[in-house]
Amino acid sequence: MKLMFKKFPFIVLILMFLFSCTSKKEEKTGDPLIAILNSDTPKIKRVMDNLKEHEIQIRYTQIDRQGEDIHFTDFDFQVDSSNYFYPASTVKFPTAVVALEKLNQLDSLNLNTRFYIEGDSIETTFSEVISQIFAVSDNDANNRLVEFLGQDTINATLKRKGVTPVRIWQRLGNLDDNTATKPLIVYENDSTTYMLPSTINTFPKGLKIKHIKKGTGFYEEDSLMAEPFNFSLKNYYPIEAQASLLKRIIFPEKFEEKERFNLSKEQHNFLLKAMRTVPRSAGYNTAEYYDGYCKFFIYGDTKDNIPDHIEIYNKVGFAYGTLTDCAYIKDASNNVEFMVTATLLVNANGVFNDNTYEYDAIGIPFLAELGRQLYNFELNRKQ
């Protein structure tokens, strides 16, 4: 009897330990994002096995409807605005939105106004450049909007609407860090033009956040510099801000008027159409610009066409070994809708500007599989 009494506390401790482990496991798998990331799916597992190297950040948002009411539930994995990642072309999304709002402030301009940048040989319209930004992520199209707006206007507008933190400074695809924008030459009619003057913008201060210096080296022109690459004067557009802007554009009614962007119904519909349009629908060569070219989630690792019943409203970015996608995914036929914003770094050798990145081998397959897994989860989720 004494022996049993002595064993009893030990047995209780074992049971308590097992119960604790079970509870933790249930708690862990209760988050659908964590459950998916812990799966044995090779395209996900090979990234998750090297978390530190890949610097992953993900926000997945469930959308539940009850009549006219819409409720968001966010699930985060390593989301931290103090951990820097290079946003690449994802900054084109807020630039396009701010450009649309500014058009409303200038009576003489609209989506179909023809213009060109001083010194540029291309004549275009605002509708054309915004369509190019989303269909194939055209850098020159984005830079034309930067000249139209100026960086100070972009940043101040986003801050005023509550899309923070953010700092958009760079023109993309070139090394122009001029604080002065170039004048726009606007066509009043077929034979008459007038000029929108240049503006002077604020030169940015260097960012002082974690992981602002990355890798072991970088190429400057043809020379290898044996030191980390400094991103402190690059664009800054973290996951929180990206997801925040996407919600405001897809569901503006969920936000107070001061947090919404002043877009007309025509502009809003145009923007949504541009965001979901695939390259073939915009007239691009499908051999080079397949449907998944700028739609990483679900379809990024295939050249198959996206089915008509699935709509992906998004903006991707890829540069310096960093891949990012911010998307609202909707399948009206199966009553599925959700949002996901994710980024990861694929630069195994730690050298930047050498164009040796594992985009196709690791990064895009991870994002595509993540999108498929989330879509399949949503197919079976009870709302």
Strand order in the sheet with 223-225: 223-225, 217-220, 351-352
Can you give the three-state secondary structure of 215-247, one letter per residue?
A: CCEEEECCEEECCCEECCCCCECCHHHHHHHHH
Query: Rounded to 5 degrees, what angle do the CA atoms 87, 92, 98 make?
Result: 125
**Cα–Cα dist 51/45, whole Å:** 10
Domain 32-380 has CATH 3.40.710.10: yes
Q: Are strands 351-352 and 223-225 parallel, antiparallel or unpaired?
A: unpaired
Predicted pLDDT of residue 1: 42
Confidence of residue 346 (pLDDT cuts 50, 70, 90): very high
Residue 130 has pLDDT above 70, yes or no: yes
Confidence of residue 382 (pLDDT cuts 50, 70, 90): confident
Predicted pLDDT of residue 383: 63
Element housing 213 (H / E): strand 213-214
Predicted pLDDT of residue 175: 73
Tens-place pLDDT, residues 156-212: 999 999 999 999 999 999 777 789 999 999 998 887 899 999 999 999 999 999 999
| Residues whose CB falls within 8 Å of the CB of residue 191, separated by 6 or more in sequence, listed in order | none
Predicted pLDDT of residue 124: 97
Mean pLDDT (the chain, rounded): 92
Residue 23 has pLDDT above 60, yes or no: no
Tens-place pLDDT, residues 254-303: 999 999 999 999 999 999 999 999 999 999 999 999 999 999 999 999 99
Where do the structural domains in the chain lie, given as residue ranges?
32-380
**Cα–Cα dist 85/77, whole Å:** 15
List alpha helices for 30-150, DSSP H: 32-37, 42-48, 51-54, 92-105, 126-136, 139-149
Query: What is the number of residues in the chain?
Result: 383
Q: Say whether 25 sits in a helix, a strand or coil.
A: helix
Predicted pLDDT of residue 192: 87
- Indicate yes or no: pTM above 0.75: yes
> Are residues 73 and 30 in contact, defined by beta-carbon separation less than 8 angstroms?
no
**Cα–Cα dist 181/211, whole Å:** 30
Where do we find the tokens 């081998």?
361
Residue 19 has pLDDT above 70, yes or no: no
Tens-place pLDDT, residues 223-259: 999 999 999 999 999 999 999 999 999 999 999 999 9
In the chain, % of residues over pLDDT 70: 92
In the chain, % of residues over pLDDT 90: 87
Residue 21 has pLDDT above 80, yes or no: no
> Are residues 277 and 284 in contact, defined by beta-carbon separation less than 8 angstroms?
no
Residue 20 has pLDDT above 80, yes or no: no
Predicted pLDDT of residue 189: 85
Cis peptide before 204 (omega within 30 of 0): no
Residue 45 has pLDDT above 70, yes or no: yes
Query: Which of the two residues, 8 and 312, has the higher pLDDT score?
Result: 312
Cα–Cα distance list, 370 to 39, 212, 260, 366 (Å):
11, 26, 30, 6
**Cα–Cα dist 317/90, whole Å:** 5
Predicted pLDDT of residue 98: 98
Q: Are strands 322-331 and 336-345 parallel, antiparallel or unpaired?
A: antiparallel
Tens-place pLDDT, residues 357-377: 999 999 999 999 999 999 999
| Residues whose CB falls within 8 Å of the CB of residue 269, separated by 6 or more in sequence, listed in order | none
Residue 48 has pLDDT above 50, yes or no: yes
Confidence of residue 27 (pLDDT cuts 50, 70, 90): very low
Predicted pLDDT of residue 271: 98
Tens-place pLDDT, residues 58-93: 999 999 999 889 999 999 999 999 999 999 999 999
